[in-house]
Amino acid sequence: MNKLRSVVRGSGAALPKRIIDNAEMATLVDTSDDWITQRTGIKSRHIAGEGETTGSLATAAARAALAEAKLEPNDIDLIVLATSTPDHTFPATATEVQHELGITHGAAFDVNAVCSGFVYGLSTADKFLRSGDYKRALVIGAETFSRILDWTDRTTCVLFGDGAGALLLEAQPSSGGRNDRGVLSSHLRSDGRYRDKLYVDGGPSTTKTVGHLRMEGREVFRHAVINLAETIQETLRATGYAATDIDWFVPHQANRRIIDATSHKLGIDPARVVLTVDKHGNTSAASIPLALATARGDGRIKDGDLVLIEAMGGGFTWGSALIRW
């Protein structure tokens, strides 16, 4: 019993009030519900309004995770927030969340791995918790991609949405066996050769502007299916599980076709796949924790379930993790 494991104590989500469905999207750019549904599976997305920021959504998701765990903000000593749409260039949005929650101890920082950000954040927090340095962490994915979209570019603006999700992890003693609860394994990868396939064309050190999202959609699609299958197989090998052992597959919600192709390639039962892309669009780092909170909230994910998460995003970055809930 001398090992520590990062066990999920709570999950939470927050979405902006305003919903834009595909019919409304077709009034903004030359597109249609048919095109968007067929190519992506997206039907609607939430878009942040005035006063709704990455930080405010992250704080609301964190509070919901604390409520499920029946813990107080001061029980938290680490906040890792995954985002590529921070409230400010600095300080880290994680410190804004820390302040809003009234926490003045411990540490808070942001992680930027774009759509893979939540897997990167979870893996980072897991290592801090297993080292014994911190006891309880909020791992948050929060984004307001609507603010970096080019709303005249129909090839990108129809794909994304805003939102936040959070997991509350606690370091608990474990035998180290794969049936014990907690994060069992996580695997991160990146390959900067592809950094110009999905990027934002601005930044403080280059253009001194925020910039807009640019993407070569077909290239991203092609790499996503290959890279995601590879990282999932690595995670399964590390834990000795097969794809058929997974209770819930909770992929990054970028595109229904990427999710279908990946689960088909791995032989994952479609009934075990959690899908929120239809209602949320692609919320980048927020998509996995939003989907986890959705499936936990509606009773699908139960204590003890084996949950596989994966994501790929700009950089390229990608990764996966297996959690015994």
- Catalytic residue set: 115, 252, 282
Q: Which is nearer to ligand ACO, 54 or 116 (CB)?
A: 116
- The backbone torsions φ and ψ at residue 62, rounded to the nearest 5 degrees and listed phi first, read -65, -45
Instruction: Kindly state the smallest distance separating residue 103's Cβ from ligand ACO, in Å.
Output: 31
What is the number of alpha carbons within 13 Å of residue 222 lying toward its C-beta? 7
Q: Which is nearer to ligand ACO, 31 or 172 (CB)?
A: 31
* Chain contacts with ligand ACO (rule: CB under 6 A): 31, 35-36, 39-40, 115, 154-155, 158-159, 198, 215, 217-218, 220-221, 224, 252, 254-255, 282, 312-313
Stated as kind and residue range, the H or E segment containing 238 is helix 217-239
- Residues 6+ away with beta carbon under 8 Å from 151: 28, 29, 157
Sign of the torsion angle spanned by Cα atoms 251, 314, 221, 212 = positive
Instruction: Kindly state the smallest distance separating residue 115's Cβ from ligand ACO, in Å.
Output: 4
Instruction: Kindly state the smallest distance separating residue 18's Cβ from ligand ACO, in Å.
Output: 20
Instruction: Kindly state the smallest distance separating residue 148's Cβ from ligand ACO, in Å.
Output: 12
Q: Which is nearer to ligand ACO, 90 or 151 (CB)?
A: 151
Q: Which is nearer to ligand ACO, 165 or 182 (CB)?
A: 165
Stated as kind and residue range, the H or E segment containing 25 is helix 22-28
Identify whether the C-beta of residue 315 lies closer than 8 Å to the C-beta of residue 188.
no
Cα 63 to chain centroid, rounded: 17
Q: C-alpha angle with apex 145: 141 to 146, nearest 5 degrees?
A: 140
Q: Which residue is nearest to ligand ACO (CB)?
A: 217
